[in-house]
Structure 1
Amino acid sequence: MIKRLIFTAITLLVSLSSMAKSMVEIWSSIPDSVIPYIDRTHRLEMTDFIKMGLKGDVNHSLGGKSEMDTITADYIHLTLNESVTMELKRLPCEGEDSLLCVVTTWKGPAEESNVKFFTQEWQSIIVPKAFEGGDYYELASRLTQRPDIMSKARYDELCAMIDPIMLSAKLSIADNVLHVKLSLPLLKADDQRKLSSVMNPIDLHWDGRGFNTK
C-alpha cells in the first residue's frame, strides 16, 4: 500500500513538472533532429534577447541568421532562414499532459507546411485522426467549395488546375486554432485570380484530441 502511494506521488510530481515547463525550457531542449543548425546556446540567446526587448536573431551554423519574433506562455514563432518559418504551440490534452504542435512552412514558389506533434520532452507522437477525423492532406478536399452560381463542370475544371496539392497552415497566437488553406504554385496571376473564387480556407479548433471545425 505504501509503495503504491509513493509511486502515485512520484507519477503526479513528474506530471506536474512536465505541465509546468515554460516555453523557454521547451524551446531550449529542442533536439538537433528538429532544428539541426541552431545549438542550445543560440536558442537561449534568442529568448534572452526578446526578454531584453531586443531583436531575437542569431547566427546559425549554415552561415545565415535565424530570428525568433514571438514567444508567449504557449506559443513561439521564428524564421529559421529566408525560406523556412516554424511555429510551436502547446496544446492541452484530455486526461494527459499537454503536447506540442509544430508547424514548419517552406516558402518556395508557394507556401507548403507540415504539422507534427511531440511530447514536451520532444518525443514524436502520432495523434490519430488529428485533422477533422483524418489525415492532414485529406483536408485538401475541404479547401475548395463550388459557388452556387458556378456549374459543376466549371468547378471541376478549376479544381483540376490545382496541381500539385500543397497545404499552407498557420497556428493562432491567441487561441488553439489552426488556419489551413491551399497554396497555388506554378500558376499565372490570372489563373490564381480565377481559382480564388473556389478557395475555401478553414479554421480548425483544438478540442483536446484533435483539430476540428466547430
Structure 2
Amino acid sequence: MKKIVLLCFLMTCVISLHAQDAKSVFINIPDSLCPLLTKVNREDFADFLESKMKAQVKNKMDKMSEMKVLTKDYVSLQTTSLSNFQMKLLQLNDTTKIICVINTVCGPVCDSRISFYTTQWKELPSKDYIDMPGMESFFITPESAKLAAYNDARASLDFYLLKSDLSKDSNELVFTFTSPQNLDESLAKALEPFLKKELVYVWKDGRFALKN
C-alpha cells in the first residue's frame, strides 16, 4: 500500500513539473488572454518549432502570427505586424514558479503592459513582483550650465510610453523609454544627452529590481 501511495506521489510530482514548462503553460493559456489564437494554433506553433520549421499560423483574424522563440521557460510570439507577446517562467521559490507576460503594441511607437500569473493562469498583483520605473527614472539631471537646455527638452514630453523585453537567456527585464521616438527629430535629438538608453531589471528573491 505504501508503495502505491509513493508511486502516485511521484507521478503527481512529474506531472506537476511537466506542466510548468513554457510549452505546456503557453498551450493552456486561457483564450481570454490570447484572443487571436486557438489552442490548436498554440499547439501547432510548438510542433513547427520542434520540427525545425517556421512556426507560422493563421490567427482568428485570418492574418499570420509567428512564434519566434520557444525554450523551456520562455516564449516570444509576433501576434500581428504591430503587436507581440512574451512569456517567461520565473522561479518564485524552491517549488513554485510564476508567469511574467508582456504584451507590446507598436502604433508605431511601442508601449508594453506587464502582467503576472500563477502557472494555472490566475492573475497576481503586479506590485508584488515589480515597482515599475517612472518616466523620471530615465532622465539624467545635468550640471547647472546645461540645466536650461535640459528643462526645454524635458518640457517637450508630456506622455509616457515604455517598451519592455524579457531575456530568453537570463532573468533580466529591459525597459526602453520610447516616448522620444514620437517627437520630431530636432526635439528627440535635444533630449538625447539627458536620457538613459535603457533600464535593466533582474529577477531576484521573487521580485524584479533595478540591476546595479
TM-score range, shorter chain: 0.7 to 0.9
Partner of residue 30, structure 1: 29
Asked if the contact 1:177/1:205 (under 8 Å) is kept, the reply is yes
Q: Distance in 2 between the 1:158 and 1:23 partners? A: 43
When normalised by structure 1's length, the TM-score is 0.85
- What is the rounded CA distance, in whole Å, between the counterparts of 1:57 and 1:149 in structure 2? 54
- Of 194, 203, 207 in structure 2, the residue corresponding to residue 206 of structure 1 is 203
Structure 1 counterpart of 2:208, one-letter code: F
Counterpart code for 1:171: L
1:93 Cα deviation after fit = 0.8
Q: Deviations over 1:92-141 (max 9, x none)?
A: 1135511010011101131100100011111111143533xx3x2x4322
Of 156, 162, 166, which aligns to 1:167? 162
Percent of residue pairs identical: 22
CA contact (8 A) 2:88 2:101 kept: yes
Report the Cα distance in structure 2 between the residues aligned to 1:13 and 1:53, rounded to whole angstroms. 31
* TM-score, normalised with respect to structure 2: 0.86
The gaps in structure 1 that reach 5 residues or longer are 1-5
2:141 matched to 1:146? yes
- Amino acid across the alignment from 2:57: V
Equivalence for 2:18:
20
1:187 aligns with 2:186: no
Structure 1 residues 125, 19: CA separation in 2 closer, same or farther (over 3 Å shift)? farther
User: 1:128–1:13: structure 2 CA closer, same or farther, 3 Å change rule?
Assistant: farther
Q: Kindly indicate whether the alpha-carbon contact (under 8 Å) linking 2:73 and 2:88 is maintained by their aligned counterparts in 1.
A: yes
Residue type at the aligned position of 1:186: N
Matched, 1:39 2:38: yes
Q: Counterpart of 1:112?
A: 111
- Contact 2:82-2:106 within 8 A present in 1 as well: yes
Q: Which structure has more helix as a fraction of its residues?
A: 2
User: 2: distance between equivalents of 1:20 and 1:162?
Assistant: 47
Distance between the aligned counterparts of 1:49 and 1:13, measured in 2? 29
- The answer on whether the counterparts of 1:172 and 1:178 sit within 8 Å (CA) in structure 2 is yes
Distance 1:143-1:13 versus aligned 2 partners, 3 A rule: farther
Please tell me whether the aligned partners of residues 19 and 98 of structure 1 are also in contact (alpha carbons under 8 angstroms): no
The root-mean-square deviation of aligned C-alpha atoms, in Å, is 2.3
Distance 2:30 2:125 in 1: 18
> Which residue does 2:173 correspond to in 1?
178
Gaps of 5+ in 2: none
Q: Which moved more, 1:37-46 or 1:87-96?
A: 87-96
Using a 3 Å threshold, how does the CA distance of structure 1 residues 27 and 194 change in structure 2: closer, same or farther? same
Question: How many residue pairs were aligned?
Answer: 203
